[in-house]
Each structure stands twice: as C-alpha cells, then as structure tokens.
C-alpha cells in the first residue's frame, strides 16, 4: 500500500522556484531517504507536505487523500507528523509537558506509541522528564522532538536533518532508534545531510538537486553510483 504519493509538485517563494516538478512515493512500512546539497529544496519539500508552505501546483496524496487546502493542524491530525530541522522543542516547558503536547495531533486515532513506549526508546527522556527542555543537550532535544511526534501517533514520520549538530555517538543512538521504529512498522521519509548514514539506514532514496529529483532507486545502488558519490558522498 502506498502511504504517500507526490505528483509534479511545484513550490515558489516569490520569484524563486524552490521545487520544480517533484514526484516521489513512499510505501507503507518503508524508510525512504531524501538527500541533496544545501539549498536543494529538501526542507521546502517537507514543509509543503505538512502544508506549512503552499504548493503552486501538483498533488500530495496521503493515504488516498489529497491534502490540498488542509491546514497544517489537520494534516498532523491525519497522521502525517513532521519533526522539523532544529528540533523546535517548547523550551520553557518540561520534557513531560512537551511529550503531552504531542497528544494533540493524535485525536482518536489508535497508536502503539504510548508514553512508556517513547521512554523505552529514549530512556534519557524518562530520566529527565521534569527538566525544562531548553536546558537539554542538542541530542536530547532531538530525541524529545522525535518522541513528541511519536505521541501524535504517526502513520508517516517526516524527519528533517535529525543528525544536524549532533556528536557521532548521539547520531548513532538516533539512527538506532529510527531503525527500531521502522522495524516496528513506522513509515519514515528522512531528509538527511549525512548522505552516507541516510543511505545506510534506508531501503530506497531520492536525490534532490536544485528543486528537482536527479536520481532515485535502491539506497544500496545509489551508494555505489559514481555520480552520486562524486556529488554527495565525498568519495
């Protein structure tokens, strides 16, 4: 079953064309990577999927429904949850309060992602449940941002640069958690500047270049593609 289908998506900021005819799909249970250089349009694409930015044209079909005209709140309530770049935790609220905010997106939908489940995935969040989130380390805030989204009961999780600014050790912990979530059946679209890690963690991938898809295929195949290596993998 296809969870997400994007057909010929165009997004512009003023006179700048940020996305130019992007088409891709994500099947249920997949973890798919979207890689590309800075300014390629990766974050714009996720923001367009969440309806945070408006599309100029094109279709975004989530679980059979075109999301055009839906508010960002309605998109999240439908089960499409977005962990934005930079974490954006509610810095004056505790860890526990941030996680409870995530429940707003759940509504009456059933989900396996209970508070205990989140604490099992990220034990440090339980240890620091009463700590003000703005005082957490960057890695802990990233775990909190993912945990908050999980509390919303995602059918599709959009992740924007989860390893940004994190140490290698914390990056490993975050990617281990993502692999566990995917093994449990969670569908994930991962935007990640660290192309090596993204291709290692996912089954399929797309490469975005100046607002257009330049390559697509199995992650293992793209990892061995000379043009992709030369442009994005630094080899």
Q: pLDDT tens digits for 158-187?
A: 999 999 888 899 999 999 999 999 999 999
For 9-13, 110-114, 124-128, 203-207, which range has the lowest pLDDT when averaged over its residues? 110-114
C-alpha to C-alpha distance for 13 and 19, rounded to whole angstroms: 10
CATH, range 2-233: 3.40.50.300
Q: Over the stretch 78-124, which tens digit does the pLDDT of each residue have?
A: 999 999 988 789 899 999 999 999 999 998 888 899 999 999 999 99
Using only the alpha carbons of the chain, give its radius of gyration. Answer: 17
Question: If you average pLDDT over residues 59-76, what whole number do you get?
Answer: 96
Q: Rounded mean pLDDT of the chain?
A: 93
Instruction: Say if residues 156 and 189 touch (Cβ distance below 8 Å).
Output: yes
User: What are the extents of the domains in the chain?
Assistant: 2-233
CA-CA distance, 49 to 84, in Å (whole number)? Answer: 12
Strand order in the sheet with 65-66: 16-27, 2-13, 57-62, 65-66
Q: Is 188 helix (H, G, I), strand (E, B) or coil?
A: strand
* 81 beta partners: 157
Confidence label for 65 from pLDDT (cuts 50, 70 and 90): very high
Query: Is the separation of the CB atoms in 26 and 4 below 8 Å?
Result: yes
Decide: 83 and 159 in contact? Cβ < 8 Å.
yes
Residue 235 has pLDDT above 60, yes or no: no
12 vs 193, higher pLDDT: 12
Q: Give the pLDDT of residue 234.
A: 58
């Amino acid at each position: 079953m296809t969870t997400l289908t994007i057909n010929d998506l165009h997004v512009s900021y003023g006179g700048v064309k940020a996305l130019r005819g992007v088409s891709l799909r994500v099947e249920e249970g997949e973890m798919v990577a979207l890689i590309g250089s800075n300014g390629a349009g990766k974050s714009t694409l996720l923001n367009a999927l969440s309806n945070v930015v408006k599309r100029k044209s094109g279709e975004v079909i989530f679980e059979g429904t075109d999301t055009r005209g839906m508010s960002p709140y309605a998109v999240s309530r439908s089960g499409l949850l977005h962990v934005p770049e930079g974490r954006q935790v509610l810095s004056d609220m505790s860890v526990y309060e941030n996680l409870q905010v995530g429940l707003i997106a759940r509504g009456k939908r059933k989900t396996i992602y209970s508070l205990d489940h989140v604490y099992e995935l990220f034990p440090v969040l339980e240890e620091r449940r009463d700590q003000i989130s703005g005082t957490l380390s960057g890695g802990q805030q990233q775990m909190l941002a993912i945990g908050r989204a999980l509390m919303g009961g995602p059918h599709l999780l959009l992740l924007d640069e989860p390893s940004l600014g994190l140490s290698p050790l914390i990056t490993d912990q975050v990617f281990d958690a993502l692999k566990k979530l995917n093994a449990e059946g969670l569908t994930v679209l991962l935007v990640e500047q660290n192309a090596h890690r993204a291709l290692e963690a996912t089954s399929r991938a797309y490469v975005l270049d100046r607002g257009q898809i330049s390559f697509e295929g199995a992650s293992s195949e793209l990892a061995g593609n000379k043009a992709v290596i030369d442009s994005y993998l630094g080899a």
